[in-house]
Structure 1
Amino acid sequence: MEQIIKQNTFSRTVFNDSKLGAYYTDPVHATKIGRLFRLQGECCVLEPSFGNAEALKAFLSQCERADEVGSVHTFGVELNRETFEQYKQEIEFPVCADFIGGIRASNRSFTLCFANPPYGVGGDDGSTRLERLFVERIFQLMKTKGYLVLVVSLTTMNLDEFAKSLLARFKPVAFYRFDDEEFAKYKQVVFIGQKRASIGLYRKEYEEWMSTNPGAPLENIPYIPKDPDTRMEVPVSLESEIELFTTKEFDEAILLHNTSALVPVLKKALQTNEYQSVGLGKPIVPLKKDLLYLSAIAGGGQGLAGNEDRGDLHLQRGQAKPVQVETPEINDDGDIHSVLVTTRNQITLHVIDNFGTIRELA
């Protein structure tokens, strides 16, 4: 007997719990979305909650390819053990774990992600949208300018906290709603964006995009085009560059299934020591100018700061060194009659983020 879905809190919550928050993407719509893309070459595709994998297969079947069929590699995560065991053969590299905090994977590796995150709340505080937590984890794993195909409800898309987190990480490229019959079930829309080089967003840009897309009247939100005039070009990503894609806890069954170049690095990865600060411990922050001098001379400006799981781990080091400043003194005739040389301490703080970018604050 088919489930009857009604848009009220009780029935939606009961159904949500029974499926661990999973609402599988309609394969027909996944097919339409696939027609929007062209793979430039070898491509590593991430699916953070693959379920029965039907949507991912439908999506990839319609992506135009510039290379041979075997050049597409799928990496999938599924939390539900029963679902995982039933459909893991559909994914080239499957992992049964919690995508948000239960996997170890190479950062900045994927150029395409097809995601329909579970609906609900979680996180350390128990009140953060799961969709937001998924987006922030996906951001860590994708290459700059890689494409995110994100299926969420229109209600979620209009949540300010979620939308700001999403748009700060992925530049909007397209936004569509599902056809009326399918939309009536879960109010699903698809956001397509490219990963930004760094996290950030102008308020005006955010407000304008929100008002003309998820915030627009429903009739003004376009359907997914059946025959697009052009396709989005997905950059190349190499399977050989992904050194790690496994659970944080050793799982022999998954290890045996994922017989690949990843296996030799597993033991080494599991023995990696936790990050620890050096010097006097965590740096003295926030990084305000009036604190830079104190931070540097105290030695507290050197060390690792941030959090690896959150993706903001970085190295920073403060330095104070004497510099001479020459100031010319001019007489009444406009001539320089002397040069005043003063010595002062110049404070600089070097920050190396997890993308390898070096910034100098002075």
Structure 2
Amino acid sequence: MALATVLVLIMLIIAAIMGIVFLIGLVLLIAGIVHKSRERNKGKKSPVVMIVTGAIMMVPSLLCVILLAIGIIGSERERRYWEQEADSVAELWKHVSVTDEKAADQALDALLQSADEGDKEAFAKNFADTLREDPEFDGMVDEFFREYPGGLADLKFKNDGMAGGGASNRGHTERHATTNYDTAFWGESYYIRLSFVYKNDDHPEEIGVTGFQVMNLGGYAEYHYDENGYENYHGDDDYLVCCIRTPDEVSARRVGGHAWRWRESDVEPLSLEDMKALLEDSFYLQDAINTGRIGQPNIEYHISNSTGIDYYYEITPDMTGSRYINISTSSDDRIIDAWLCTDEKRSVENIIEFRPKPENG
């Protein structure tokens, strides 16, 4: 595949050079014909030389264009053939070059469609051969289908961003990517994480889907966070996961475009103005809690690779919907800053500006 890409680039460069040669030849040919038609140039050799030279320069260029067209048509026919004949994205990517975005769309469609149809065999074929050789793979597929809710192929998922990478060594290329999707449908949110290798010249057995996670709001919150707001670590055995939880099983809410474990409070939410005034008068979060005007936070998140903690409090809604306050604290509970959030946006308005650590500690 890498060699084919290099050859195409070489052909394009040659075509560009030959195009210039063709234009020069065309100019010489036309100039020679014009000069030869003039009465004063009859019998002179220079017009004939220009015509012959121009024609000679044009012929290779025409041949190059013809060969390039044949190559492009052949490549397009091969692509269409494999798109029709390949029984999985893993098989397709072994024969056809695609972009990371195209590969992501193809993989998501293939996986959700086969999952909706309950076709475990078609579903499994999309994964890389190296994963399918895992003794645990078939059991993971069975567990995935037991949890899978169905009907997701008809939903429109939003791509939340893609991270990709790869390497090239002497014309041999490897390309991989990971992308996240989410959607909201009839009061339920779904989250998908998709990883895949869409090019590997040296190890084609690694081409295919390498990770697929499907979760709803409660499933995502339970899978990623424990009840104290710490992230769960699953190691390398979470490449195929479906985690669906009902509100009775896990209390969760979408805040700032993210799924979190949720704790109800026995204290009525404050207004934005009252919450801002309370935090302005508080050095530590516990100071605010001790007033009795707010209870324990609805959401607690211990930030990875940091000693800081993020807390979220629900406040009274406005005309646009639910609202929350995200309070960032240091490890000793000192309030660092606070932001107004909505269901989808994490940083709507800064209500407590950044407070640097006091010089006396």
TM-score, L = length of structure 1:
0.24
- Tell which has more relative contact order, 1 or 2 (C-alpha 8 A, sep 6+): 1
Whose Rg is larger?
A: 2
- Structure in which a larger fraction of residues adopt helix: 2
